[in-house]
Structure 1
Amino acid sequence: MTKNGIRTIANVTCIALIGAAAAMTLAGCMQTPEEKAAFAARQAAPTPVVMNATKGEAPTQSGLSHYKDGYPGFGAPLTAANVQMSDDEAGGLQKKLTALGAQRNAGTISEAEYLRRVAEYRKLAAEHGAETLSEIAN
């Protein structure tokens, strides 16, 4: 084999390896539509909530620290927007619901009473969020 033949084989091999490396690199960059949608959802900005001052009063200072010019500073740790349910409250509600189910299974309350209470709890669950938001807004 001549020098030119060996050089040609080496060049072809080199080009093939570069092409294979490029193909593998591009294959690693491909994403499914679900992965693209999940990535876009993570990158989307959160929806802002604007709360107006109530009854013409000046808005109160939030839990954020403020600079001298009045702009909020985000260096201080944030607090919850609302009071969270305590473990005792959650346990109490769980006991109530467990007792209601046990009474139904034991037959100590009528089916109509059980359904009335279930409807009451479902109505509370459906309306409580909207009522609380309206109280916060006013």
Structure 2
Amino acid sequence: MTNTGIRTIANVTRIALIGAAAAMALAGCMRTPEEKAEIAARRAAPTAVVMNATKGEAPTESGLSHYRDGYPGFGAPLTAANVQMNDEEAAGLQQKLTALSNRRKAGTITEAEYQRRVAEYRKLAADHGPETLSEITK
């Protein structure tokens, strides 16, 4: 056999081995629908658990996992600490603020009244956090 024939056989064999290795590697990546569903369930965002305020009492249940010795484990996903504002509340607040701004632009509200309401909203924003925290810690 000539050198050209040997090279051709070697190249064909090399390509066949590369193709077989790629097929085996890709076959290992295939997952069944059940495996895909299990992986999607593990990757899904956890549902939030809203816990009621205890007013100084020890909480009855915790959102954290605990080890046998009682120390909390932080490996589990954490949950929400409080109820979040829903879309209707956000839309209502946006409408109130937009209406106030439109009344100011149209001149139907005095500048003093506008500034009084702005100060009222700013005071509410500044005091709301500490007030809520004091209610929680009572």
- Identity in percent: 78
Alpha-carbon distance, 1:126 to partner: 1.2
Give me the TM-score of the superposition, normalised by structure 1: 0.52
Which protein, 1 or 2, shows the higher relative CO under an 8 Å CA cutoff with sep ≥ 6? 2
- What do the CA deviations read for 1:90-115 (whole angstroms, capped 9, x no partner)? 22211111110001111122222212
Where does residue 50 of structure 1 map in the other structure?
A: none
Where does residue 129 of structure 2 map in the other structure?
A: 129
State the alpha-carbon separation in 1 of the partners of residues 90 and 112 from structure 2.
26
1:1-138 equivalences in 2 (<5 Å): 55=56, 57-138=57-138
State the alpha-carbon separation in 1 of the partners of residues 108 and 55 from structure 2.
49
Give me the CA root mean square deviation: 2.2
Number of positions where the alignment pairs a residue of Structure 1 with one of Structure 2:
85
- What do the CA deviations read for 1:42-81 (whole angstroms, capped 9, x no partner)? xxxxxxxxxxx855x3344321122344322323221111
Give me the TM-score of the superposition, normalised by structure 2: 0.52
- Return the letter of the residue paired with 1:121: Y
Where does residue 17 of structure 1 map in the other structure?
A: none
- Return the letter of the residue paired with 2:79: T
Counterpart contact for 2:65–2:74, Cα < 8 Å:
yes
Per mean C-alpha deviation after superposition, the further-off stretch among 61-70 and 101-110 is 61-70
Alpha-carbon distance, 1:137 to partner: 1.7
Per mean C-alpha deviation after superposition, the further-off stretch among 99-108 and 58-67 is 58-67
SS in 2 for 1:104: helix
SS in 2 for 1:81: coil
- Return the letter of the residue paired with 1:88: E
Where structure 2 has 5 or more consecutive residues not aligned to the other structure, the ranges are 1-53
